[in-house]
Amino acid sequence: MNPGSIVRCRNREWVLLPSDQPEVHLLRPLTGATDEYIAVHKRLAELISFELAEERLHSATFPLPTPEDVADAASAHLLWQAARLTLREGATPFRSLGRISIRPHIYQFVPLLMSLRLDPVRILIADDVGVGKTIEALLIARELYDRGEIKRVCVLCPPYLCEQWQKELSEKFNMEAVVIRSGTVGQLERRKPS
């Protein structure tokens, strides 16, 4: 079985992930989030499977549809859309694309690809006006957030751009932002849990 294979273990379907330890299988639920995964020790699972058959790892099989499974076209389209959206996140090298509400231009992926090769990520985006520097920067932030590499984002910008950044974060990248100014610091500190 190779990484990317769909397997069955513990009465559930999983996607086999790459593992840097040859004696361990990493499994992600077929319909789960990318940060939900388990490790299964190959030899231990083999030994346990004599008593608990569901612990044995084997290729998943799915039955062919029967005439009783067929519904109307609207139901079939709804099922297709749900399956496509459920599996969308795992079908791309970028985890964030399933959580944004825009379709970036191809050239806007260049800073993202460059930043994913850096450790730590330090990048200056200095494109022309109107090219989409905000979107390029937020693509990087959202991807790093979804990969679990960062927990929060701080944007430093001139006061007249605060609302634009807050709106872009919320509407296009599904990230709630709080604008911090000298006049709002006291109010924000009072709302902060102790």
Residue 183: CB atoms within 10 Å: 7
Together in a domain, 107 and 179 = yes
Together in a domain, 108 and 172 = yes
Average pLDDT for runs of 10 along the chain of length 194: 82 84 85 73 80 81 76 77 62 74 89 90 88 91 89 90 90 91 85 76
| 80 part of a folded domain | no
Reported as type and span, the H/E element at residue 42 is: helix 42-48
Query: What is the reported pLDDT for 144?
Result: 92
Domain total of the chain: 2
| 144 part of a folded domain | yes
Range of the domain at 104: 96-191
| 90 part of a folded domain | no
Together in a domain, 100 and 187 = yes
pLDDT, tens digit, 9 for 90 and up, residues 81-126 = 777 666 555 545 677 887 888 888 988 999 999 998 888 999 999 8
The end-to-end CA distance of the chain, in Å, is 50
Together in a domain, 34 and 108 = no
Which residues have a Cβ under 8 Å from the Cβ of 53 and sit 6 or more positions away? none
Q: 58-59 and 24-29: which strand pairing?
A: unpaired
Together in a domain, 175 and 112 = yes
pTM beyond 0.75: no
